[in-house]
């Protein structure tokens, strides 16, 4: 049944109140009103705002929807409504099948009790029967890799162990609809990989809704994306396009200066702000070095929106060391053949005294930014490497 629609959201809206005192008072009114069957009004009362407004989408089995947006865009509110924790103020949500939610791991854990006892507590909260937990107990302990400490109070677990145990229990759910809110950002690398694989396994059998700020994760697992902003759906499209939109609208340029000396009359400019895939980027620097510095080299690095360093180079590696004779420097360097996917990138410039082992004179973070366009493939590593293929055809 590949065409089975499991999640239907239509005209969903939800309002929140900014002011605590008013919020509590509206709460009393809604409790009393609700008891007598009154639906909440569609008007905003004083200090209220729409946390979600007119959300529409459907999701089929086998699809994985990535909810993407800045903090406060309404992603978590939407998840909580889908999970039945909050009531919509307008519109409706229909969920077909068993819903599993990985919003919080280890709900119901009591720190004084042992890991084994808490498996039963958390299992019961997630809706397992005693029989089901008994059957799955060994599998859970093994998946969490925690056998040695299973009789120890959970209080003495490391945070990673707690998360592992929580995930191992939740991973036993066999839902039709799976709701996931950034729970995979914890734990060590090997467990992250393991839990990620478990989710990929599940994703083919379920309709999955996934909130994350990690675009590589979203790109790997999601088939579709929804970009949210201030409670509105800005875009509902194939995941790659949604990620592009998100990254370009996101402010990732946070200029900063660190160092011992500030350079006089420092300026930095690019030949273009918008560059085609594969083109060269030319950077011009103008500055005056303080007289205390005799000899220095220049370093640059390029960052993507995930704040990962993509490119870097040191002038000394191409035998360029600058001698300070108290004059104004006018330096130009060219980054050859930008093999970056579409998106926004920032440039850091640094100065180091003498040689690579010298002290840092100063560094200008995010001094410039540029946008790459016209890359043909936009996968989720930032580099689309130019590669030479040597193919031999063997004729049969």
Partner 1 sequence: MQVRTYTSKNTISFLNLIGDIFKDVYGSFYLAKQLAVRDIKASYRQSILGILWMFVNPITTALVWIFLNNSGTVKITDTGMPYPVFAFTGTLLWSLIIEAINTPAQSTRSGMGMMSKVNFPKEALIISGLFKMIFDTLAKIALLIIFLVMYEIHFTWYLILVPFVMLGSIFFGIVIGLFITPFSLLYSDISRFISLGLRFLMYATPVVYAIPKEESFIRTAMLLNPFTPLLQTMRELVTGQELTMLPYFIGVLAVSLLISLAGLFFYRISIPIIIERS
130 vs 359 by CB, closer to partner 1? 130
Which residue in this structure is represented by tokens 């990985």? Answer: 102
Whose Cβ is closer to partner 1: residue 23's or residue 271's?
Answer: 23
Residues 75/232, Cβ–Cβ less than 8 Å: no
CA-to-CA distance for 375 and 218, rounded, in angstroms? 20
Pairing relationship of beta strands 322-323 and 264-270 according to DSSP bridges:
unpaired
At residue 105's C-alpha, the angle toward residues 104 and 106, to 5°, is 120
The least CB distance from residue 349 to partner 1, in Å, is 45
Nearer to partner 1 among residue 120 and residue 380 (C-beta): 120
- Is-contact 362 261, C-beta < 8 A? yes
Smallest distance, Å, CB 139 to partner 1?
20
CB 96 to partner 1: min, Å: 5
Closest CA to 372 of 332, 337, 320, 396: 337
Using CA atoms, how far apart are residues 324 and 322, in angstroms rounded to an integer? Answer: 6
Q: Closest distance between partner 1 and the C-beta of residue 226, in Å?
A: 18
Return the number of the residue (117 or 279) whose C-beta is nearest partner 1. 117
- Under the rule (CB under 8 A), what is the footprint of partner 1? 16, 23-24, 27-28, 30-31, 34-35, 37, 39-40, 80-81, 83-99, 101, 103-104, 107-108, 110, 112-113, 117, 120-121, 124-127, 129-130, 176
Q: Residue 51 in 3-state DSSP?
A: strand
The DSSP line for 221-277 is H-SEEEEEETTEEEEEEEHHHHHHHHHHHS-----EEEES-PPEEEEEEES-SEEET
Shorter beta-carbon distance to partner 1: residue 54 or 252: 54
Q: DSSP assignment, residue 369?
A: E
Q: Which is nearer to partner 1, 17 or 226 (CB)?
A: 17
Determine the Cα–Cα distance for residues 31 and 93; give it in Å rounded to an integer.
21
Q: What are phi and psi of 282, to 5 degrees?
A: -110, 130
The residue among 154 and 221 lying less far from partner 1, judged by its C-beta, is: 154
Q: What residues pair up with 234 in beta bridges, in sequence order?
A: none
- To partner 1, the closest distance from the beta carbon of 34 in angstroms equals 4
Q: Are strands 360-373 and 343-353 parallel, antiparallel or unpaired?
A: antiparallel
Closer CB to partner 1, 171 or 227, in the complex: 171
Q: With respect to partner 1, which residue has the nearer C-beta, 91 or 259? A: 91
Q: How far is the CB of 25 from partner 1 (least distance, A)?
A: 9
Rounded Cα gap, residues 284 and 125, in angstroms: 61
Judged by beta carbon, residue 180 or residue 335, the one nearer partner 1 is 180
| Alpha-carbon distance values, 127 to 130, 172, 197, 330 (Å) | 10, 11, 24, 68
Quote the CA–CA distance of 98 and 121 in Å, as a whole number: 20
CB of 72 to partner 1, least distance (A): 16
Q: Which residues, other chains included, contact 54 with Cβ-Cβ below 8 Å and sequence gap of 6+? A: 11, 12, 13, 91, 232, 233
Q: CB count, 10 Å around CB of 21?
A: 9
Cβ 298 to partner 1, closest distance in Å?
50
């Amino acid at each position: 049944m590949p065409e089975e629609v499991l999640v239907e959201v239509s005209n969903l809206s939800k309002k929140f109140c900014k002011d605590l005192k008013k919020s509590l008072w509206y709460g009393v009114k809604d409790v009393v009103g609700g008891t007598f069957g009154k639906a909440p009004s569609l008007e905003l009362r004083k200090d209220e705002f729409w946390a979600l407004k007119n959300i529409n989408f459907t999701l089929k089995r086998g699809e994985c929807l990535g909810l993407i947006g800045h903090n406060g865009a309404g992603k978590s509110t939407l998840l909580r409504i889908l999970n039945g924790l909050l009531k919509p103020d307008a519109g409706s949500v229909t969920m077909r099948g068993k819903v599993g939610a990985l919003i919080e791991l280890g709900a119901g854990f009591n720190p004084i009790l042992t890991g084994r006892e808490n498996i039963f507590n958390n299992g019961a909260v997630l809706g397992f029967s005693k029989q089901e937990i008994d059957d799955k107990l060994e599998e859970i302990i093994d998946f969490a890799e925690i056998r040695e400490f299973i009789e120890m109070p959970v209080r003495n677990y490391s945070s990673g162990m707690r998360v592992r145990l929580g995930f191992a229990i939740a991973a036993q759910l066999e839902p039709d609809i799976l709701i996931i809110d950034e729970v995979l950002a914890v734990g060590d690398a090997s467990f992250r990989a393991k839990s990620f694989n478990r989710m990929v396994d599940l994703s083919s059998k379920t309709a999955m809704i996934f909130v994350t700020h990690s675009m590589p994760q979203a790109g790997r697992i999601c088939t579709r994306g929804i970009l949210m902003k201030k409670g509105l759906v800005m875009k509902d499209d194939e995941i790659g396009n949604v990620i592009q939109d998100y990254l370009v609208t996101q402010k990732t340029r946070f200029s900063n200066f660190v160092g011992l000396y500030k350079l006089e009359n420092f300026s930095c400019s690019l030949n273009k702000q918008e560059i085609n895939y594969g083109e060269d980027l030319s950077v011009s620097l103008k500055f005056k070095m303080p007289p205390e510095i005799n000899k220095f080299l220049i370093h640059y690095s390029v960052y993507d929106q995930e704040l990962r360093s993509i490119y870097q180079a040191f002038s000394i590696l191409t035998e360029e060391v600058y001698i300070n004779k108290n004059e104004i420097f006018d330096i130009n360097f060219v980054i050859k053949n930008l093999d970056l996917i579409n998106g926004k990138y920032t440039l850091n410039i640094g100065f180091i005294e003498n040689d690579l082992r010298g002290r840092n004179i100063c560094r200008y973070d995010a001094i410039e930014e540029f946008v790459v366009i016209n890359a043909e493939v936009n996968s989720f590593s930032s580099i689309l490497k130019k590669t030479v293929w040597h193919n031999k055809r063997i004729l049969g």
